[in-house]
């Protein structure tokens, strides 16, 4: 199974992003948009993991100190860059978020999970472009730097299973909650 750790996006923030995705879907049909119910901020990608070892993950993270914080979701951007966008995102920030992601990565290293080499860039993936597609007129449609989408109380984070064969709204299944 493919696993990752993330903060879910819910409430008014999810509703605001869902409205924007619905608008963008009409003007940028080449983008594979995320289902609003599946929106999240990834803290750590774990990758393929056998179910028999799931308890090791829970034990490694079970007593991690998670300070509740207010996640501010604002603006939009693209990876790897605006000239060649492959992934369209909403920005996110919260006091201590980067330190929390680093602490999580350190806890998982002894289990053989390699930390991401790129710097942690808090974001919520909204859509992906197929490799051969260009997002045509996306810069005029895209709301960069974009509005404040909302704020989310982060009382913890989840261990999610990615199920690519599931319908978009059910693609990510919560397996464990920490916090």
| Residues labelled as active-site residues | 40, 123
CA distance 17 to 4: 22
Cα 5 to Cα 32, 84, 95, 156, 160: the distances in Å are 22, 27, 18, 10, 6
The 10 Å Cβ neighbour count of residue 167 is: 10
CA proximity to 9, closest of 20, 46, 139, 1: 20
**Residue with tokens 């929106």, as numbered in its chain:** 39
Rounded Cα gap, residues 106 and 115, in angstroms: 8
């Amino acid at each position: 199974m493919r696993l990752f750790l993330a903060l879910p996006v819910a409430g008014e923030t999810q509703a605001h992003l869902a409205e924007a995705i619905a608008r963008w879907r009409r003007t940028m049909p080449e983008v594979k948009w995320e289902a609003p119910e599946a929106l999240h901020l990834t803290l750590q990608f774990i990758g393929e993991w056998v179910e028999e070892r799931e308890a090791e993950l829970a034990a490694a993270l079970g007593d991690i100190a998670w300070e509740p914080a207010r996640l501010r979701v604002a603006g939009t951007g693209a990876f790897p860059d605006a000239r060649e966008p492959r992934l369209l995102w909403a920005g996110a920030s919260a006091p201590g978020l980067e330190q929390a992601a680093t602490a999580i990565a350190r806890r998982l290293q002894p289990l053989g999970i390699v930390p991401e080499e790129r710097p942690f860039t808090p974001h919520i993936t909204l859509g992906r472009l197929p490799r051969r597609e260009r997002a045509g007129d996306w810069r005029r449609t895209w709301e960069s730097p974009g509005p404040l989408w909302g704020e989310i109380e982060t009382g913890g984070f989840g261990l999610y299973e990615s199920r690519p064969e599931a319908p978009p709204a059910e693609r990510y299944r919560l397996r464990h909650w920490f916090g």
